[in-house]
Amino acid sequence: MLQAFHEGIATLGREPKSLVLPVVFSILAWFFDLLIVVLVFFSLGSFGAGVSLSVIVIVYFIIVGIEDIPLGIPAGVGLMEIAMTSLYALFGVPIGLSVAATLLIRAMTFWVRLVIGGLTVQWLGIKALTAPSDASSA
């Protein structure tokens, strides 16, 4: 494993430009993920009035950090909602608004992705099964 890691780092050292596009996509993914949170608070009518962008950014990055800790809980279901609701409440967001925002944010950032990903995998599987194979056409 160490040798494979070393070879991977050596490849990146020879071709550092190959990292540019993945880094750009990663930054865009973070931006759009954060945009979901901003739009949820905006839709609840509390962005700017009761919830500032700094609170949203701080809570977002704390939650991303918690998600990266391997706890063995499948996708952090439950833990993320408790942490997010508690953090918003800690920053002065009313508890009812914290719960509503957390449920909407998690619905968009976890459950919708899960459903869309599952449907996509099924569609690709069906497409692969129904496509004529090279062996049968030869």
pLDDT tens figures, 67-113: 887 776 665 667 888 999 999 999 998 999 999 999 999 888 878 88
pTM assigned to the model = 0.71
The parent domain of residue 82 ranges over: 2-131
Query: Is residue 58 a part of any domain in this protein?
Result: yes
CB 101 within 8 A of CB 89: no
Query: Is residue 113 a part of any domain in this protein?
Result: yes
Give the chain's domain count: 1
Query: How far, in Å, CA of 113 to CA of 106, rounded?
Result: 10
Query: Is residue 17 a part of any domain in this protein?
Result: yes
Query: Is residue 78 a part of any domain in this protein?
Result: yes
Query: Is residue 126 a part of any domain in this protein?
Result: yes
Query: Is residue 62 a part of any domain in this protein?
Result: yes
Nearest alpha carbon to residue 64 among 23, 103, 22, 31: 31
Sign of CA dihedral 119, 120, 126, 129: negative
Query: Is residue 34 a part of any domain in this protein?
Result: yes
pLDDT at residue 135 greater than cutoff 60:
no
pLDDT one-digit tens code per residue, 28-70:
999 998 999 999 998 888 776 678 889 999 999 998 888 887 7
pLDDT one-digit tens code per residue, 117-129:
899 999 998 888 8
